[in-house]
A and B are shown apart, each in its own frame.
Chain A
Amino acid sequence: MDKSTTRLTRRQFLVGTSVCAASAAWAIPRRAASADFPAGRPITILIHASAGGGFDIGVRTLQPYLETTLGTRLVLMNQPGSAGLVMLTQMSRVKPDGYTVGSIYLPGFNAMWLDPRRQPTFKRKDFRFLAGHVWDPCSIVVKPGAPWKTLLDFTNEAKAKPGSLAIALGGIVSDDHLFLLDIMAKTGTDIKIVHFDASAPAIAAFLGGHTHGLAVNEAESTPLVQRGDARLLALANTQRSKYNPNVPTLREQGLDIVASAVRGFLTPANVPQPIFDFLAKAFKDAINNPEHVAKMDKMGFPVAYLGPQEFTELVVKEDARVTQLAKQFKLFDPLPQE
């Protein structure tokens, strides 16, 4: 019942998996892969966040549906640490046999291979992007009694009095951080950014009145809005949200910014094509399962499936955006990926 034994079991699974995979590869090197994949052996999903957090819950909600479509058991291993760098490094080293899949979120993970200070031992091309799972738009909220009704009200005041307004957010080079930098770049304003290490302390600082605004994802701002602790200034999606239909998008407010936290899955680059296709189809069917979508919806996580091609395009697009913002705000000197 205790953790050490359970973890050991998981570890044994992982070791077991890779040992089995290794021996299988040794014995039958050129056999058509998908015919005997996954052959009843468990598939491990490495999760870059700690157990019980928003990311983790999302994957665990998907787990039963994925087990059905994959036809095998899943082993979920949490490998938190350094915002996902630990897990991604591990993913770049695992055997590309399809038995290990990693979780990922954009644009936070783009910084992993772009930011030289993190000394990445991998590049974008070391991975293949399997499926997009959740699409959670960025948002900015202020206190209900605050004088600003739209984002432009807010940025105009920030422009008039540079550095007078502060916004709390969780995480450096997170989707929220880049979103805010995008706003500052496009409106030419100077807003004080106060970094917290997660959304929860950022929300607490905002509620305590220590900052004027808060940049979090819609899934986190909606409960605040519903109970009257905050008012949404803007949502950075392409269309209006079904959770907050009265809030105009940024495009409607005249700012061409689309920013979201997009969660998904990746594999190492060299997974054999038939196995990759098998995995992609299994993820697609599981993610699109209406029961799964409804469950996620109830938690406020909007499911939006992206196929390997669309997801890869998005990764490349976000790479460009992060590169540009990193240069403009001198965050770091982005590493080339091509």
Chain B
Amino acid sequence: MESFWFLMQGLGNALSPQNILFAFIGSVIGTLVGVLPGVGPAAGTAILIPMTFVLPAVPAIIMLAAIYYGAMYGGTITSVLLNVPGEAASVVTCIEGHQMAKHGRAGPALSIAAIGSFIGGTVATICLVTLALPLTQLALRFGPPEFFALMCFGLSLVISLAGKSLIKALLVALFGLALSQVGMDPTIGFPRFTFGMIDMVGGLELIAIVMGLFGVGDLLVSLEAQAQDVMRSKIGRLFPSREDWKRSLPAICRGTAIGTGLGLIPGVASAVPTFVSYVFEKKATPEPREGWGGGAIEGVAGPETANNAYVNAALIPLFTLGIPSSPTVALLMGAFMINGLIPGPFLFKEHPEVVWTVIASLFVGNVILLILNLPLIGLWVRVLTIPRGILYALILVFCIVGSYSLNNRLFDPVIMLLFGVLGYLFRKFDFPLAPVALTLILGPLMEKGLAQSMMLSRGDPSIFVTRPIALVLLLLSVLVLVTSSMKSQSAASEAIRQDSQA
């Protein structure tokens, strides 16, 4: 009850004109950061860190937090309209979202994403207010073995991302896994697969790769398909229909749960909950009319909700333990520290006015983002009416500038373009792209979990079966693997039978 009163007080502070202004500025910048490919939330926040020297603590932190979750709203826009994922967390949205845009349903895709984001973000913040401490204690039980098992579970989902051919999906998954090995070994610090190039020592930039594979690859395919009008300038309705609502609501609920749960665990990358949510939708809902990969709204609503629930939940360990669970949260922690506030449970006692104002501002910011994003959808979808020649040139410029800005070096745009060509070939030969992104993201996390578990147990693999959470997760992944491969096996033999009959 006490925290409720503190929250109300915080809400009062958060609603002061100054704080609303900074939440608004943060939301606008966050949306922009999300829209601009390559400028991820971490980079966007980092660039504004110096402002925290000039501003008082509370508005500064409110603004930076708003950038962080605002970017998750904005990231949807380019994914849906242009098939260019602005950051890792919006890769999944490309799969169904861009298909929706191609069928003139960009409006409903963007609206449902904004509404889902709002719900996910708000529910995760409510968790922060009410259940922060017990939830964190639970999340801390995820040590290296549990983390490894969780990543195994994530990898087992790759089969569900397969298109027509399981073999092709597994091939590209392995390809992604191999790519993720480039760079410094996490346990002994040895550079791997760098070919003596200093630029490769830090590994390949995930964003550059997915921008190339999805964005540029799609662009090349579209260019080729001159005759067919791939990106038709039809806009259609802007807001979801009654049926869209009915289909999206369960997806939003599931996305909220998945995003909040995974956000609590330090070290889970922001893209993980989106993939989990997407695959979960594929399992939980009957095949939609459009078919999976054909623009199913559940595939937008779930992941987009999950990533906003994730970012708001990721703040929980920061407030309860002072542990930043992602690079962007680490930046936020920096903003606290610059102002002489050390995040952690003491902050609630020593500076309750700061903590509760910031938490209340999360609610305010989510409302601002919703108000900001819904009316803009009409404007955004008009991007699709830009003549193709200009639009494609713009996309290419965005991708090049975005990938350059990752590290201020030419190496990343080159990688991005190389993967653009590869993305084109993948599409030509009907290889699915999503498994590459999934293994690229999960690979390093899984490797770290494995290496750390082995250090803990001195190389004894029984550590994975003697710890209950790890064991359950591993069994679950086996179950997923077995059931889905059986399903695809029967589907394949069915196809062969039909082929031979025909």
Contact = CB atoms under 8 A, between A and B. Distances in A.
A115 B189 CA distance: 10
A178 B24 CA distance: 46
Interface in A191-207: 192-197, 200-201, 203-205, 207
A294 B408 CA distance: 34
Contacts of A229: 321
B38 interface: yes
Contacts of B199: 86
A173 B189 contact: yes
Interface stretch (B105-113, B225-233, B334-342, B368-376): B334-342
Most chain B CB inside 10 Å of its own CB: which residue of A2, A56, A121: A2
Contacts of A79: 407-408
B267 A3 contact: no
Contacts of A50: 42, 46, 327
A2 B201 contact: no
B220 interface: no
A195 B140 contact: no
B405 A200 contact: no
Contact of B198 (A7, A54, A64, A89): A89
A77 B189 contact: no
A52 B334 contact: yes
Interface residues of B, number: 67
Nearest to B329: A200
Contacts of B190: 117
B218 to A, nearest CB: 22
Contacts, number: 168
10 contacts: A1-B32, A6-B47, A79-B407, A82-B183, A166-B455, A193-B455, A196-B452, A201-B267, A207-B321, A208-B143
B144 A204 contact: no
Interface string A200-222: 11011101111100000000000
Given A2-B29, A3-B47, A205-B452, 19 more contacts: A4-B405, A51-B331, A52-B45, A53-B334, A64-B53, A81-B201, A82-B183, A82-B202, A83-B184, A86-B198, A117-B190, A118-B191, A119-B198, A166-B455, A194-B456, A204-B266, A223-B346, A299-B340, A300-B342
Interface in A218-242: 223, 226-227, 229
Contacts of B53: 60, 64
Given A3-B33, A4-B38, A81-B201, A163 B143 contact: no
B35 to A, nearest CB: 9
Interface string A63-79: 01000000000000111
Contacts of A226: 346
B12 interface: no
> By DSSP majority rule, is chain B's interface helix, strand, loop, or mixed?
helix
Nearest to B32: A2
B401 interface: yes
B189 A172 contact: yes
Given A2-B33, A192-B456, A51 B47 contact: yes
Contacts of A314: none
A4 B36 contact: yes
Interface in B208-229: none
B32 A81 contact: no
B140 A166 contact: no
A54 B335 CA distance: 11
A309 to B, nearest CB: 31
A203 B343 CA distance: 14
B452 to A, nearest CB: 5
A255 interface: no
Contacts of B201: 81-82, 85-86, 118
Nearest to A6: B47
B46 A57 contact: no
A57 B47 contact: no
Nearest to A198: B330
A30 interface: no
B187 interface: yes
B461 interface: no
A31 interface: no
Given A1-B32, A50-B46, A7 B405 contact: yes
Give me the 8 closest cross-chain CB pairs, A-B, nearest first. Answer: A51-B46, A52-B331, A210-B143, A208-B140, A81-B202, A52-B334, A172-B189, A82-B201
Given A208-B142, A227-B346, A57 B334 contact: yes
